[in-house]
Every structure is written in structure tokens, then in C-alpha cells.
């Protein structure tokens, strides 16, 4: 039996060993560059209190998970992001995925749809149906959801600047199925702030964009109660190069901005916050990612209670979707990506995610093939059904390192949130280019570490082999764009033009007033007004956002 | 590492190489474009970065106004075969025929020959070492007196 302290061990046994054989590296660090000790022990958690830091699943501060039973009750939702070409093609892929055991839909839209252009617009040339499905009108939305009972599945839509419009079309499609709107579940990303920071599919300046966000909050609370009105996303900022702690901090700073805007619009925190969802990336540093997910729940629970005086536990629970790291995929030795994705997915599950998208191994090359998507889904099924990690809740809790790391990520994130608040909040930070610059710095540092081999990426800067033939890739049929243009022109010719004009007039009036836009957007959808037509009116009223140059 | 003090090759010839890094198309994935822009700048070149969502006209106009020798285009949306020919056409219309063109982003291997046929001298995919881009630009940028 020994009563040696960690420091005594470091100074004696460990030091002696290192003096004889140096360690692999001079120092080991976290994604934010913090030095890692060789090991962690009870002294690192000397002040640590189980009940204060962790508590129990389903209870404040929710570090161990938001549901009391977690994956023993039900596995996470396996939700593969998909969509390409036109609505009919995508509808086929969704039906295939549902048949394969996927439990929710996740719609990827093409870039024109995301930034408010119809498929027949000049700006859309070359982009129609490329990174997602092209949806310009309710007719397209009806085709997209044809034969899929919207009451029985949940749908996540990655859509931001045009989120209220696409949600309005979805609601209109559900009404046509005679669905009960209280049973319609799903999520719109609707997180415009991170578009200015990283993802880039903004249209309007921030203030009117935030008004669209709060309009959707208010309308959904009363009319679409099971809908998650926003998915506040760290994912894209992480993909753009930031660290794990920055991912949490920038996202929570955005969340605070939305909450303040909603409170400003007379909404009650405890009423709308239960419908806020979050979206994290999952990169390759396995244990740090697990710690990040656990820390994120604790940070949000504290923001909810300490900042907003929340009394409703549902408003304090951070529920999140996770996607494995697209930026970690390599074009070299693409099959390696299967393994990377499996490890990342495992950490998301150990971190207690509510839903998960696993990337396909060929996505550094092009849109994924059907075979690659199926393997990605199978990866989740193996983790859920074969690995055993889903059988006990939060199984890594109590590990000295995991708890120390969870505390550290929380502390780093809180410090950054305070910094952004001191600047005047997320929006002011964006206007000054603060978050953008911080992300660029981290991305550049990562690139340099890769080039100097401080960081090894297998198959890219080490363990390089002669490349085999590249695998066959998915291609969107170029005929899709032509077909889309014809279809939209035909739709525009046959709809009731007077109804269209009236809808657009009402939208223009509401844009300069304060009326909730959602009912008008639904009605416009029902009159087959297009995404591009609605956005043209709003661009005219509100202007367009100009990128802040930070380089 | 791209230390400007030790890699001043472009400056040694008198004038730094002027580069335009542009993002055509609608995608907002600007990480690669910004990393490359910064690496070229750290290597002593003068770099103008356009920002995202640039139309072919805007890119050609920027190349003209900024009087660059090199134009690097980054695109990840898959619209490269639709947009690159239009950009080359816009450059030609402005009588810009001596710039070094290169591309980066997600450009499938089977498209590379078509992109090269348009006059692009280099296509850099994911995982590229920025030192390779710097060397490529130094070796291929048209000389100026």
C-alpha cells in the first residue's frame, strides 16, 4: 500500500522513466493547447463534489444526461442528413433510409434554397440540387414528403435564413396530409448568427433576421408545440477550425443572443427554452469530446438558472444532435474515414447525444454514395446494439481524467462567454469580426501543426501509401437543373396569380411592421408563392448582409 | 513553417507576387481559402481575399482592379464545372490572359482534366500542405518587371 502523492510519483518513478526514455512528445495538449498531465488522480478532484458537478440523469445540472433512463429506454435517434437533386429523388432516398431502420429524417437543402433563390434564378446556375434538395415551392415540399406520414416521424431541416419559409411549407404539406399539428415533430436549424460567423448562408442583416427567428418561436409555441424551433449550432464553427471550448462558448453566446431577443419580444424563458435544441460536432480527440458533451449540459443548466432564473427543468436541459466531423475526413485513403467516424460516433454516444449523424467515408471526395451512407448508419447500429456502451448511463463518469477535463472545458468555455459578453454580446462580436478571427487563428494553428507533424493525420502527413483508384462517387444528374427550371416556370404559369400578388403584398407590409410573419408565410406557401419570390420582397425591404472581412 | 523571414523568395525578385483568392459559387466553406490566403501572405506575397459568394463577373473585376498575377479559386459545392468556364470567359473578356490560375476545394479526380483544360495549372484537394501551394505559386506565377 502506498500513500505517495501524484507529485511525489511524478518526481520519482515517472521522472526516472522519462529520463531513461523520453516520452513520444515534449508535451501533450488539448485542442485548446492546454498542457495535459501524464495522468490524473484523486488529488485533481480534491474540491470536486459529486452532487454539485454531476447529480443524476434527468436531474440538475444534467451532466450525466437529460433523460432518467437514457439509452436503456431508447437509443438515440439515428438521423442521416440527406437530400440531393430534386424532391422526387430525395423522397426515394428518405424512404430507403426509413426502410433501413433510420428513425428520423434530416433534410439537406441545396444552396439556392438556403439563400433564397429559386432553381430558375440566375444565381442558381450550377448549384441546383448539388449539396441538397432544391425546394422552391409547396409543390416541391409535397413531392419531398409524398408517402411519408409526417405525424409519425420527426424531420430535421438544415435551413437557416429561409427557415421560417421552409417550415411554413412543411406545415402546409402536413395540413394537406390532414395531420394534427400538435403531433408534428422536428427541428429547423434556424440559427442565423452562426451563419455570419462560419457557415455563410445568410441573406438579410442580423436585426430583421433575428425578428424572423423570434416570430417562429412565438408561432410554434402556440401552434406547433412539439417542434424544436432552433438548433443552435456549434458544428459549423468547429468545422471552420475552432477548438472544443470555443465551439461551446460561441454557441452559448449565440444562444444568449436569441434568448435576449425572445425575451425582448415578450416571450417567457421557461416557456420557449424547452424547444431550444443544440447541435455539436464530434471530432477525433475522443476523451475531450466526451468531456465537451458532458460539460455542455452543465453550462446550459447554469446559464438557464443563474442568468434567466429558470424554474422549469425542461428549460434547463440541453438536448443536442451530433454530427461526426466532416473536416476530419480525408480524401487520402478514404476507407480510413469509416474508422474515424466510428470512434467519433462512440464518443458522441458516451457523451449522451439525443441524435446522431455519422458521416460517410467518401465525403471528402463528393456527396456520399448510397453504399457509404448505409455503412455510416450501420456504424451507429453496431455501437447501439453490439458494443454495450449504451447499456449503462454515462459510463465514463468518475474517471479522474474525464471529470477533470469536463471541468476544464466548462471553465474555458465560460471564460470565453464572459469575454464575448464584455464585448457587448455575440452580435457585436460578429460585427467586429471577433469570433471569425478567433476561428481563423485556431484553423491556421491546426494547419501548421499538421504541416510540422506536431499533429499526425494518418494517410495525410504520415503513413502515406500510393493512392489506389479513387472510389466511384455520387454525381447529381446535370439534367436535374434543366428539369427544375422547366417545372418552376410551369408552376408559375398555372397558379392563381392574384393570390400570389396578395400574399406578397401582405408579406411586404408585415416586413416593415411587427405582425408575426409565420401565418402569412404558410398562406403564401398554400398559394404556391416561391421561396425566391418571398425573399426578393424581404431583400427589398430589409437589404442584404455584407460579410465582415477579417483577413 | 511559413516564416516570412526565411521565405522571402518572392520579394527577392523585386516585387511581391500579387494573388487573388476568391470563392465562387454559393457555399460558405471558407476555411481552406482563408488558410491558403494567410499562408501565401506569410510567405511574402500580397494577397487579396474576396469573401464568399462571388459571381464570375465580380471575380474577374477584382482580378483586374487588383492587378494580380495569380488567381486561386476555392469551391466546395460541386458547382465548379458550371462556374469555372464562366470565370475564365469573364477574365478573357477583360483581356486578362496571363494570370496563373489554380483551384482548391472538393474537385473530384475525374474532373481535374476538364479543369486543367480550362487553363488551370494546379488543383489542390483536401489535405494539401500549404508549402506545396506556396512553391507552386512561386514557380508558376508570371514574372513582372
- Read off the pLDDT of residues B34-73 as tens digits, 9 standing for 90 and up: 999 999 999 999 999 999 999 999 999 999 999 999 999 9
* Residue B72 contacts residue B104 (beta carbons within 8 Å): yes
Q: For chain B, say whether A382 makes contact (Cβ under 8 Å).
A: no
Residues of chain A neighbouring B31 (CB-CB closer than 8 A): 239-241, 327, 443
Question: Is B81 within the bounds of a domain?
Answer: yes
**Closest chain A residue to the Cα of B130, Cα to Cα:** A451
Question: Is B10 within the bounds of a domain?
Answer: no
CA distance linking residue B140 with residue A523, whole number of Å = 57
Domain extent for B58: 15-140
The shortest C-alpha distance from B29 to chain A (Å) reads 6
pLDDT band of residue B145 (cuts 50, 70, 90) is low
pLDDT band of residue A476 (cuts 50, 70, 90) is confident
Ramachandran assignment for B120, one of left (phi > 0), alpha (psi -120 to 50 degrees), beta (any other)? beta
Q: Would you list which residues of chain B are within 8 Å, Cβ to Cβ, of chain A?
A: 1-2, 25-31, 34-35, 37-39, 49, 51-53, 55, 77-79, 81-83, 106, 108-110, 125-127, 129-131
Q: What is the pLDDT of residues B107-143, one digit of tens each?
A: 998 999 999 999 999 999 999 999 999 999 999 999 8
Could you tell me where the DSSP H helices lie in A197-243? 206-223, 235-239
Task: Classify A458 as helix, strand or coil.
Answer: strand
Q: What is the pLDDT of residues A101-121, one digit of tens each?
A: 777 888 999 999 999 999 999
CA distance linking residue A145 with residue A177, whole number of Å = 10
Three-point CA angle A493, A499, A501, nearest 5° = 80
Q: What is the pLDDT of residue B10?
A: 47
Residues of chain A neighbouring B110 (CB-CB closer than 8 A): 470, 473
Give yes or no for residue B5 having a pLDDT over 60: no
Alpha carbon A58 to its chain centroid, in Å, reads: 23
Question: Is B9 within the bounds of a domain?
Answer: no
Q: What is the pLDDT of residue A258?
A: 97
Q: Which among B26, B51, B130 has CB closest to A451?
A: B130
Question: Is B126 within the bounds of a domain?
Answer: yes
Q: What is the pLDDT of residues B14-32, one digit of tens each?
A: 789 999 999 999 999 999 9
State mean pLDDT over A471-488: 88
Q: What is the pLDDT of residues A347-388, one digit of tens each?
A: 999 999 999 999 999 998 888 888 999 999 999 999 999 999
**Domains contained in chain B, number:** 1
Q: What is the ipTM of this complex?
A: 0.89
* Residue A104 contacts residue A153 (beta carbons within 8 Å): yes
Q: Which among A198, A240, A452 has CB closest to B1?
A: A452
The shortest C-alpha distance from A469 to chain B (Å) reads 10
- Closest by CA position to A100, among listed A319, A322, A436, A370: A370
- Closest by CA position to A228, among listed A323, A104, A59, A352: A104
CATH T-level assignment (fold) for domain A50-451 = TIM Barrel (3.20.20)
Q: For chain B, say whether A55 makes contact (Cβ under 8 Å).
A: no
- Closest by CA position to B115, among listed B137, B86, B84, B71: B84
CA distance linking residue A109 with residue A165, whole number of Å = 13
Three-point CA angle A518, A519, A521, nearest 5° = 65
Q: For chain B, say whether A330 makes contact (Cβ under 8 Å).
A: yes
Q: What is the pLDDT of residue A81?
A: 80
Question: Is B8 within the bounds of a domain?
Answer: no
Is residue A383 exposed (0-12), middle (13-18) or buried (19+ Cβ within 10 Å)? Answer: buried
Question: Is B145 within the bounds of a domain?
Answer: no
DSSP class of residue A528?
T
Q: For chain B, say whether A28 makes contact (Cβ under 8 Å).
A: no
Are the Cβ atoms of A200 and B53 closer than 8 angstroms? yes
What is the CATH classification number for the domain harbouring B70? 3.40.50.280
Residues of chain B neighbouring A331 (CB-CB closer than 8 A): 125-127
What average pLDDT does the structure give for chain A?
95
Are the Cβ atoms of B130 and A447 closer than 8 angstroms? yes
Give yes or no for residue B13 having a pLDDT over 60: no
Question: Is B40 within the bounds of a domain?
Answer: yes
Residues of chain B neighbouring A330 (CB-CB closer than 8 A): 126-127
Q: For chain A, what are the domain ranges?
A: 50-451
Question: Is B82 within the bounds of a domain?
Answer: yes
Amino acid at each position: 500500500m502506498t500513500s505517495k502523492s501524484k507529485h511525489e510519483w511524478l518526481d520519482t518513478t515517472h521522472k526516472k522513466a522519462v529520463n531513461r526514455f523520453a516520452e513520444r512528445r515534449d508535451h501533450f495538449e488539448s485542442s485548446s493547447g492546454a498542457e495535459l498531465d501524464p495522468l490524473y488522480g484523486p488529488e485533481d478532484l480534491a474540491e470536486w463534489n459529486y452532487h454539485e458537478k454531476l447529480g443524476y440523469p434527468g436531474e440538475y445540472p444534467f451532466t450525466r444526461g437529460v433523460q432518467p433512463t437514457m439509452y436503456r429506454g431508447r437509443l438515440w435517434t439515428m438521423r442521416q442528413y440527406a437530400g440531393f437533386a430534386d424532391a422526387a429523388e430525395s423522397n426515394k432516398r428518405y424512404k430507403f433510409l426509413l426502410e433501413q431502420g433510420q428513425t428520423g429524417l434530416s433534410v439537406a437543402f441545396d444552396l439556392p434554397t438556403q439563400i433564397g433563390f429559386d432553381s430558375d434564378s440566375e444565381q442558381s446556375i450550377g448549384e441546383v440540387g448539388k449539396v441538397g434538395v432544391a425546394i422552391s415551392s409547396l409543390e416541391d415540399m409535397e413531392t419531398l414528403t409524398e408517402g411519408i406520414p409526417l405525424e409519425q416521424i420527426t424531420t430535421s431541416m438544415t435551413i437557416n435564413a429561409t427557415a421560417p419559409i421552409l417550415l411554413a411549407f412543411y406545415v402546409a404539406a402536413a395540413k394537406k396530409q390532414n395531420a394534427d399539428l400538435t403531433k408534428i415533430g422536428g427541428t429547423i436549424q434556424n440559427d442565423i448568427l452562426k451563419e455570419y460567423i462560419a457557415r455563410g448562408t445568410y441573406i438579410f442583416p442580423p436585426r430583421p433576421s433575428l425578428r424572423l427567428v423570434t416570430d417562429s418561436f412565438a408561432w410554434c409555441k402556440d401552434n406547433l408545440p412539439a417542434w424544436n424551433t432552433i438548433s443552435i449550432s456549434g458544428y459549423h464553427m468547429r468545422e471552420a477550425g475552432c477548438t472544443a471550448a470555443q465551439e461551446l462558448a460561441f454557441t452559448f453566446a449565440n444562444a444568449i443572443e436569441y434568448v435576449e431577443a425572445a425575451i425582448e419580444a415578450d416571450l417567457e424563458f421557461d416557456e420557449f427554452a424547452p424547444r431550444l435544441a443544440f447541435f455539436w460536432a464530434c471530432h477525433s480527440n475522443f476523451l475531450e469530446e466526451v468531456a465537451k458533451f458532458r460539460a455542455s449540459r452543465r453550462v446550459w443548466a447554469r446559464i438557464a438558472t443563474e442568468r434567466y432564473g429558470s424554474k422549469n427543468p425542461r428549460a434547463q436541459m440541453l438536448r443536442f444532435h451530433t454530427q461526426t466531423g466532416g473536416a476530419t475526413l480525408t480524401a487520402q485513403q478514404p476507407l480510413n474515414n469509416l474508422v474515424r467516424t466510428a470512434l467519433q460516433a462512440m464518443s458522441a454516444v458516451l457523451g449522451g447525444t439525443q441524435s446522431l449523424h455519422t458521416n460517410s467515408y467518401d465525403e471528402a471526395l463528393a456527396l456520399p454514395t448510397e453504399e457509404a451512407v448505409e455503412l455510416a448508419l450501420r456504424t451507429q447500429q453496431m455501437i447501439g446494439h453490439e458494443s454495450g456502451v449504451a447499456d449503462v448511463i454515462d459510463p465514463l463518469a468518475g474517471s479522474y481524467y474525464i471529470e477533470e477535463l469536463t471541468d476544464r472545458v466548462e471553465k474555458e468555455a465560460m471564460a470565453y462567454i464572459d469575454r464575448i459578453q464584455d464585448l457587448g454580446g455575440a452580435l457585436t462580436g460578429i460585427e467586429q469580426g471577433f469570433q471569425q478571427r478567433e476561428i481563423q487563428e485556431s484553423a491556421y494553428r491546426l494547419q501548421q501543426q499538421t504541416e510540422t507533424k506536431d499533429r499526425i493525420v494518418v494517410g495525410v502527413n504520415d503513413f502515406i501509401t500510393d493512392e489506389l483508384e479513387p472510389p466511384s462517387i455520387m454525381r447529381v444528374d446535370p439534367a436535374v437543373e434543366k428539369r427544375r427550371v422547366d417545372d418552376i416556370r410551369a408552376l408559375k404559369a398555372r397558379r392563381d396569380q392574384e393570390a400570389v400578388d396578395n400574399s406578397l403584398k401582405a408579406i411586404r407590409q408585415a416586413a416593415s411592421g411587427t405582425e408575426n410573419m409565420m401565418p402569412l408565410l404558410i398562406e403564401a406557401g398554400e398559394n404556391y408563392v416561391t421561396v425566391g419570390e418571398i425573399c426578393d420582397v424581404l431583400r427589398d425591404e430589409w437589404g442584404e448582409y455584407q460579410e465582415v472581412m477579417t483577413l | 513553417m511559413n516564416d516570412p523571414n526565411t521565405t522571402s523568395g518572392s520579394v527577392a525578385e523585386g516585387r511581391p507576387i500579387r494573388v487573388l483568392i476568391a470563392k465562387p459559387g454559393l457555399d460558405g466553406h471558407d476555411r481552406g481559402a482563408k488558410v491558403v490566403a494567410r499562408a501565401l501572405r506569410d510567405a511574402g506575397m500580397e494577397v487579396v481575399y474576396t469573401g464568399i459568394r462571388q459571381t464570375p463577373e465580380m471575380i474577374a473585376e477584382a482580378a483586374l482592379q487588383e492587378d494580380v498575377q495569380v488567381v486561386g479559386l476555392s469551391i466546395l459545392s460541386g458547382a465548379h464545372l458550371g462556374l469555372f468556364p464562366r470565370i475564365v470567359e469573364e477574365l478573357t473578356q477583360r483581356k486578362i490572359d496571363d494570370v496563373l490560375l489554380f483551384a482548391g476545394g472538393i474537385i473530384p479526380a475525374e474532373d481535374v482534366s476538364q479543369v486543367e483544360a480550362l487553363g488551370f495549372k494546379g488543383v489542390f484537394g483536401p489535405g494539401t500542405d500549404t508549402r506545396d501551394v506556396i512553391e507552386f505559386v512561386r514557380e508558376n506565377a508570371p514574372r513582372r518587371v
